[in-house]
Amino acid sequence: MNDRRLKRGIKIAYGTGDFGRAGYNTLRMFFYAIFLTDVVGLKASIASVAALIAIFWDAVNDPLVGILTDRARTRWGRRRPFFLWFSVPFGLSFLLLWWAPPWQTQAALALHVTAAFMLADTFQTLVSVPYLALGPEIAPGYDQRTSLMSWRMFFNLAASLIAAGTAPEIIDAALKAGMSLRQAYLLMGALFGGVAILPFLLLFVLIREHPPAEEPSKGQGFIPTLRIFLSNKPFVIAGSIYVLNWICFDLLALMLPYYLLYWLSRGNLLARVELFGVGLAPETAAFGILLMTAIITLPFWNFLSGRTSKRKAYIIGMSVWALVQCIIWTIPEGRLLSSLWIAAVAGFTTSSAHVLPESMFPEALDWDELRSGKRREGLYYGAITFVRKLATALATFIALQVLSAAGYLSPPEGSLVFHQSAKTVTAIRFLTGPGVLLIILPTILLTVLLPMDRAKQERIQSLLEKRRERRAGKALPPGP
């Protein structure tokens, strides 16, 4: 019954909200680390510490905002007011993130980068957590969640495609026009920061919330809240899959620009690759093919999960991804065209990795509601985002420390060609290929152990609907 209630227009309206988040996050995932080392001029070891501190704050503020949105009560609802209040600061703060300051010391640069990241991320959290928490509220059914996430990921991947594909071209065009690399990145930040504002304002106008079934509960403290999470087995397993899935993607996104520049482009910042007769930056070609394939194959994963299950479909997708990571290690130096074929296969798996964990996770929230009688999307999404970002911070820290230990050097300012040592390039190749594979394998194992399936989720939904109907019946005034 729930699967027939959610109209396509609502799915599309909700999905557009991820357009603003995705462009912002894609640029930060793909290009921010190399921006810190090669443009700001931070040593890789120092950049890793700055990133660790900043991303730790990024993780800490998520559960706080999650609790805040669960308790909010306004005439617009619990989640929508955050889109109205914070969408403009969210977009404007992106500009600060891509400003390379003129400070002369590594300590001053690290402090600036950390502060800019923390400020930009705070505003991002104030729109992202309410947005994520809104999804399970408007799509309660098993297959409707997969459908809603497919629409959301269509806009996510479309924005990622535009961001990852055009950002290198914007930077190359700015360099050819005589701008410095610092000015080119700042221009890119201004363009995409402005674009990030509009989707959340539209979301505020187009989406209506369902009123919560219960009054906001008071905080229970850290230990009791931790017990709630740990006692929810579907949350522990689905949450672990969600976290590991995004660590794989975040680590790959972190390393791909280094891999493309120093292995496949041999250190040439203005290298071009021919695609259908058009010369493109390697990043534009690789990311464009990857994300275009991901968009095209979204309906396949929606269809496959509907015919089988989310769990089986995801295991297939991750198994193919594991194969891709092995192939990445074997691509010879300078073979840019070979990488484009791999990008197409990687896009096929990226599609499943974007949709299926996002649609599996809300089922743990239904299990919690069945036991507790409370809807706590904000609390759960805040907690899982906290764990994900903390894990990503550690992965980023370790990856940059490995690069530093391997002798990574920042290119001199103004240089357009720069070569890293053989030891450094080997480290880059390992982190981009086998390093990600080491995270994919336990993700597949956990998916096998996931206790939720379609039958169990539909049974939970049936019990929840009966409970809501009883509550609604008790709330009706007595007849005449």
pLDDT 10s digits, 9-34: 778 878 777 777 888 888 887 888 88
> pLDDT band at residue 6, thresholds of 50, 70 and 90?
low
Look up residue 307 and give its two tokens. 């015919």
Is the pLDDT at 1 greater than 50? The verdict is no
Q: Provide the token pair at 73.
A: 């009560």
435 pLDDT tier (thresholds 50, 70, 90): very high
Q: Flag whether 470 is in a domain.
A: no
Give the pLDDT confidence score for residue 212 in this predicted structure. 58
Which of 456, 245, 473 shows the shortest CA–CA distance to 364? 456
> Which pLDDT score is estimated for 421?
93
Residue 152 has pLDDT above 70, yes or no: yes
Instruction: In whole angstroms, give the CA distance from residue 45 to residue 204.
Output: 42
With cut-offs at 50, 70 and 90, classify the pLDDT of residue 480. Answer: very low
The predicted pLDDT at position 476 comes to: 47
φ, ψ (nearest 5 deg) of residue 279 = -80, 120
Structure confidence by residue, pLDDT tens digits, 456-469: 777 887 887 787 77
Task: Please report the pLDDT score of residue 154 as a whole number.
Answer: 82
Q: How many domains does the chain have?
A: 1
Of 141, 167, 170, 176, give the one whose Cα is nearest residue 2: 141
Residue of 400, 395, 393, 394 whose CA lies nearest to 427: 400
Task: Summarize pLDDT for 62-96 with one digit per residue, the tens.
Answer: 777 777 777 777 777 778 888 888 888 988 888 88
pLDDT at 34: 86
Does residue 480 lie in a domain region?
no
Residue 140 confidence class, pLDDT cut points 50, 70, 90 = low
32, part of any domain: yes
Instruction: Give 111-131 pLDDT, tens digit per residue.
Output: 888 888 888 888 888 888 888
Burial class of residue 25 (count of CB atoms within 10 Å of its CB; 0-12, 13-18, 19+): buried
Judge whether 346 lies within some domain: yes
Domain-embedded: residue 96:
yes
Give the domain CATH number at 452: 1.20.1250.20
Q: What is the mean pLDDT of the chain?
A: 81
Residue 214 belongs to some domain of the structure:
no
Q: Which of 36, 33, 49, 45 is CA-nearest to residue 404?
A: 45
Overall average pLDDT of the 148-173 stretch? 82
Is 479 part of any domain? no
Buried b (16+ CB within 10 A) or exposed e, 282-298: bbbbbbbbbbbbbbebb
Q: What is the mean pLDDT of residues 402-415?
A: 86
Query: What is the tens place of the pLDDT at every residue in 292-309?
Result: 888 888 889 888 888 888
> Is the confidence at residue 428, as pLDDT, over 90?
yes
Closest to 124 (Cα-Cα) out of 34, 184, 35, 199: 199
Q: For 156-242, where are the E strands, in sequence order? A: none
- Does 212 reside within a domain? no
Domain of 201 in residue numbering reads as 2-207+221-460
The model's pLDDT over 364-400, given as tens digits with 9 standing for 90+, comes to 778 888 887 777 766 777 677 777 777 877 888 888 8
pLDDT in tens, 321-363: 999 999 999 999 888 888 888 888 888 988 888 778 877 777 7
Q: Which residues contact 117 (CB under 8 A, 6 or more apart)?
A: 50, 51, 54, 55, 57, 58, 97
Question: What's residue 479's pLDDT?
Answer: 46
Which of 102-116, 219-233, 235-249, 358-372 shows the lowest mean pLDDT across its residues? 219-233
Closest by alpha carbon to 23, among 264, 241, 291?
291
